[in-house]
Structure 1
Amino acid sequence: MKKTVLIFDDDVNILELCSIILTECGYEVATSETSHNIIEKVIETNPDAILMDNWIPDIGGIEATRILKKHPDFKHIPVIYFSANNDIKSLAEKAGADVHLAKPFDLEDLENLIKSLLEK
């Protein structure tokens, strides 16, 4: 059964690029350009991992990640916090994300990070 990755990012180019790469790696990919109705989106897609942008519209990546990590049904889903922000590490920690990935990122780093999280 294919693993699903849900990507939250308001940059359509990033969504498209990540979708192509992850689909080629054998994952199902779902995307969202906002963090609006985040719980409903996670219920709908049932992801095995989430890529969360810091600057996602509506509530933002930090709050969106916190909501997921507080939810008893979703707190186990690994969240990769990704942003071009200089203090990505502290933002990811503040949000409660599992790991972080600085933009721009190497596509191989993205693949390896998701693979390592999903094989745990």
Structure 2
Amino acid sequence: MNNKVKRIIIFDDDEDILSICRYILEEQGWEVHTFTDCNNILEKVSGVCPDIILMDNWIPDAGGIIATQTLKKDGELKNIPVVYFSANSDIQLLADHAGAETYLAKPFDLEELERVINTVFINN
């Protein structure tokens, strides 16, 4: 049995989304870290060492694409899977452009959130 703590970081400037995601994921046994901006992203991510990152598209200041690309260029952090999430209709294109592993469209239902995160976690 793997007793390793599962850590996730959620980058989103919407406090409601953060609190809903935190509640759901903590129920699933995740240690949840949330940030309302992506400034100093390398420091934030390396400080937590998450298993998965949930990245909003419209996040201050640089935005989700730049933030994800910054992570993917970093030798230490590039292998952490990023789930891109946005209400934008072009989310698949945005996620591909950012270099994210997968995406989750907003609004999402909670089962979908769990399914996407668990699939990414199992596959990495």
Q: How many residues align?
A: 120
Q: 2:7 aligns with which of 4, 9, 13?
A: 4
Q: Which residue of 1 aligns with 2:67?
A: 64
Amino acid of the residue matched to residue 11 of structure 1?
D
Q: What aligned pairs does 1:10-25 form with structure 2 within 5 A after superposition?
A: 10-25=13-28
Correspondence for 1:92 among 85, 91, 95 = 95
**Root-mean-square deviation (CA), in Å?**
0.6
Q: Distance in 1 between matches of 2:8 and 2:89?
A: 25
2:113 and 2:38 map into 1 onto residues whose CA distance is 21
Q: Which 5+ residue runs of structure 2 have no aligned equivalent?
A: none
- 1:73 shift after superposition: 0.6
Secondary structure (helix, strand or coil) at the match of 1:108 reads: helix
Structure 1 distance, partners of 2:42, 2:48, is: 10
Structure 2 counterpart of 1:54, one-letter code = N
In 1, the alpha carbon distance for the partners of 2:94 and 2:112 equals 19
How far is 1:118 from its partner? 1.0
Counterpart selection for 1:76 from 76, 79, 82: 79
With normalisation by structure 2, the TM-score equals 0.95
